[in-house]
Amino acid sequence: METASELARALDGTLFAGKLRHFVEIDSTNLQAMREAAAGAEHGTVYIADAQSAGRGRGAHTWHSAPGDGLYCSLLLRPQPAIAPASAMWISLATGLAVATAVESVTGLRADIRWPNDLLLGEKKFSGILAELSAEGERVRHAVIGIGININHANFPPELQTLATSLRMASGKNFPRVVILAALLRAMQAEIENLFAANNAAQAHAEILQRLRQQSTWIEGKRVHVDAAGGYTGVTAGLNAQGFLQVQTAADLRTVLSGGVRAEN
Ligand code: BTN
């Protein structure tokens, strides 16, 4: 699959069909999606850039966005029926699973998921997800789900070398970005159908938790440092019913509401 028309065919019948917005270079696909969402852009619009000059990461981080090597995209969702901001955690978790599914289907590589949604090969990260919300009280007006995947990078700047990898570095092969994008959007379509079309949200959430337990080595029994509340160390003890990670410290069982998690030896 190399052309826009092949991509369009792959998206036939999905909520993303006919809603691709491509930019050669942009500050950030998340920012563009937020700007266009405020101006009324449709549910399911996809923003893709070949390069980002100000790619955004979680926390105060930036996202290294080398021209042409990675997939930099953002999906605009207008959840119906309306969801509360706290429920957006499920979209975030489901997106991590969608990236893992798409990557495995195209490359055969099985990703680990570091809660909530960093995707790793071995100890190194190749994909990150940044979900940004616009909410009105207890109702999400729209959500922008930004996804960065390192695909054909042959190397990274020195400060990222111990932390980052790409599908190419892990497999020795190059992959067309458009093939990964098509697989990702199809996997996202399935996740969104499960989450929003399900009559039984509790059942959909339980399935996500179950799949995460299978896909991630970080959910149970991993010694971690949590970069929140002054920083603390403990052993992961599953996810609570809202999808938040629990960590058993020497003193108590804590719930990680925000902050990064990293392995602690
Ligand atoms: C993270 O810190 O792990 C999240 C990284 C998210 C990066 C993607 S790239 C496409 C989209 N646009 C952005 O500015 N950020 C996200």
Q: Is the CB of 117 under 6 A from ligand 1?
A: no
* Three-state secondary structure string covering the chain: CCCHHHHHHHCCCCCCCCCEEEEEEECCHHHHHHHHHHCCCCCCCEEEEEEECCCECCCCCECCCCCCCEEEEEEEECCCCCCCHHHHHHHHHHHHHHHHHHHHHHHCCCCEEECCCEEEECCEEEEEEEEEEEEECCEEEEEEEEEEEECCCCCCCHHHCCCECCHHHHHCCCCCHHHHHHHHHHHHHHHHHHHHHCCCHHHHHHHHHHHHHHHCCCCEEEEEEECCCCCEEEEEEEECCCCCEEEECCCCEEEECCCCEEECC
State in Å: Cα 261 to ligand 1 middle.
17
Among 227, 239, 228, 233, residue whose Cα is nearest residue 252: 233
Read off the pLDDT of residues 248-260 as tens digits, 9 standing for 90 and up. Answer: 999 999 999 887 8
pLDDT tens, the chain, 265 aa long: 556 778 888 889 899 999 999 999 999 999 999 999 999 999 999 999 999 999 999 988 899 988 989 999 999 999 988 899 988 999 999 999 999 999 999 999 999 999 999 999 999 999 999 999 999 999 999 999 999 999 999 999 999 999 999 999 999 999 999 999 999 999 999 999 999 876 788 899 999 999 999 999 999 999 999 998 889 999 999 999 889 999 999 999 999 988 789 999 7
Instruction: Give the number of other CB atoms < 10 A from CB of residue 170.
Output: 17
State in Å: Cα 127 to ligand 1 middle.
8
Q: Give the pLDDT score at 197.
A: 74
CA 214 to CA 15: how far, in whole Å?
28
Q: Is the CB of 55 under 6 A from ligand 1?
A: yes
Residue of the CA atom closest to atom 2 of ligand 1: 57
* 80 backbone dihedrals φ, ψ, rounded to 5°: -135, 125
Q: Is the CB of 164 under 6 A from ligand 1?
A: no
Read off the pLDDT of residues 91-127 as tens digits, 9 standing for 90 and up. Answer: 999 999 999 999 999 999 999 999 999 999 999 999 9
155: which residues sit within 8 A by CB, 6+ positions away?
161
Q: Is the CB of 130 under 6 A from ligand 1?
A: yes
Among 211, 224, 234, residue whose Cα is nearest residue 260: 224
**Residue whose tokens read 């599914």:** 101
CB 74 within 8 A of CB 145: yes
Q: Give the pLDDT score at 214.
A: 94
Q: Give the pLDDT score at 259.
A: 77
Pairing type for strands 70-77 and 46-52 reads antiparallel
CB 179 within 8 A of CB 186: no
Q: Give the pLDDT score at 8.
A: 84
Q: Give the pLDDT score at 80.
A: 87
Q: Which atom of ligand 1 is nearest to the CA of 27?
A: 14
Q: Is the CB of 56 under 6 A from ligand 1?
A: yes
